[in-house]
Amino acid sequence: MSREVYLPRNLDEFRELRDRRPYAALYAGGTDLLVRMRQGLLDPPALICLERIEVLKKVEDREGLLFLGAGATHAELLEHPAVRRRLPVLARALEVLGSPPIRHMGTIGGNIVTASPAGDTLPPLYTLDAEVEILSSMGSRRRKINEFILGPGRTDLKPGELLLGVLVPVDPAFHLHHFEKVGPRNALAIALVSLAALLSINDSGLIEKAKLAWGSVGPTVVTSAKVEAALVGRPLTRDTLEEAAALARAAVSPIDDLRADAEYRRAVAGNLVLRLINYTRRPGPAPAL
């Protein structure tokens, strides 16, 4: 089947095309959309490719926030010094996202709007309290990422709207940035469970702030105020992490699927919390997953 493909060069051209072809599917890297089309899961009447719109590729400071354009590829973000220096938890997720070709094609905007519970960039963005910026015919609006993503494959993106990018607060108080995922193989794996964690530890060795988010253990990324509260004011010890891990296993709501059963995912969600013990100077093997 032949279909029209449009390549707008700027947002004005995009708006004009969107008005003329409101049912066209949008893509940049196409690593999700084109696969689903080949599988016969989608059959859009037209396509609008966003890869030539330079404003969607920007990475810039905006009054204490780091703006990451929706069209920036994972490889471009991984190579950007501001991302590596100021958002190391996101950089660590990008390092293990797919294969090199996928990182060079796929975009952070695509990872967000696909809204997969296994999306590697999503747990870091949840811990960072990121907001998305959305373009509509009325102007632009912002939405917290945890409010924007509604469920598997579902977002608050309305017909005619375009995700411009994501705005990420940079909090220097967090000096421990951790991301880890468990998959069916050591590389190129879709996460069975993932964890992003940010911790601030004071000079007395007590945890002052904690932000944690799990992927692939619920319909959306899972966060837990109870787990975070169990860490705050406590030392980063095995006992502290055991208590938090038990709460984490109770907080997640995984499902059985072809890749893993729910109980395995629940156990791993807690075990990933135990892995934070590796940030202390105590010797000994890492907890088993």
With cut-offs at 50, 70 and 90, classify the pLDDT of residue 282: very low
With cut-offs at 50, 70 and 90, classify the pLDDT of residue 288: very low
Residue whose tokens read 């003329």: 20
With cut-offs at 50, 70 and 90, classify the pLDDT of residue 186: low
- As a whole number, the mean pLDDT across the chain is 91
Average pLDDT (258-278) is: 91
Tokens of 181: 């995922």
259-263 — which CB contacts under 8 Å span 24+ positions?
259/184, 259/190, 259/192, 260/184, 260/192, 260/193
Q: Is the pLDDT of residue 51 over 50?
A: yes
207-241 tens-digit pLDDT: 999 999 999 999 999 999 999 999 999 999 999 99
Residue whose tokens read 């787990």: 227
- Biggest distance spanned by C-alpha atoms of the chain: 66
**Pairing status of strand 149-151 against strand 154-155:** antiparallel
**Pairing status of strand 25-27 against strand 176-182:** unpaired
Q: Is the pLDDT of residue 284 over 60?
A: no
Average pLDDT (19-37) is: 88
Instruction: Please report the DSSP string for 28-68 in residue order.
Output: SS-TTHHHHHHTTS---SEEEE-TT-GGGG-EEEETTEEEE
Cβ-based neighbours of 93, under 8 Å, separated by 6 or more? 120, 121, 123, 124, 179, 181, 194, 196
With cut-offs at 50, 70 and 90, classify the pLDDT of residue 1: low
Average pLDDT (98-105) is: 90
Quick one: pLDDT at residue 154?
96
15-19, 188-192, 210-214 — most confident range? 210-214
103-160 tens-digit pLDDT: 999 999 999 999 999 999 999 999 999 999 999 878 899 999 999 999 999 999 998 8
Q: Is the pLDDT of residue 188 over 60?
A: no
Phi then psi dihedrals of residue 98, to 5 deg: 60, -155
Q: Is the pLDDT of residue 285 over 60?
A: no
Q: Is the pLDDT of residue 185 over 60?
A: no
Quick one: pLDDT at residue 189?
63
Q: Is the pLDDT of residue 161 over 90?
A: yes
Beta partners for residue 96, in sequence order: none
Residue 186 exposed, middle or buried by CB count within 10 Å (0-12, 13-18, 19+): exposed
Whose CA is closest to 255, among 264, 247, 246? 264
Average pLDDT (75-95) is: 96
Whose CA is closest to 216, among 186, 168, 180? 180
Q: Alpha-carbon torsion 40, 43, 47, 50, what sign?
A: negative
In the DSSP assignment, the letter for residue 277 is: G
Q: Alpha-carbon torsion 272, 249, 189, 29, what sign?
A: negative
Alpha helices in the chain (DSSP H): 11-20, 33-38, 74-79, 81-86, 88-95, 100-105, 108-114, 122-127, 145-148, 225-231, 238-251, 262-274
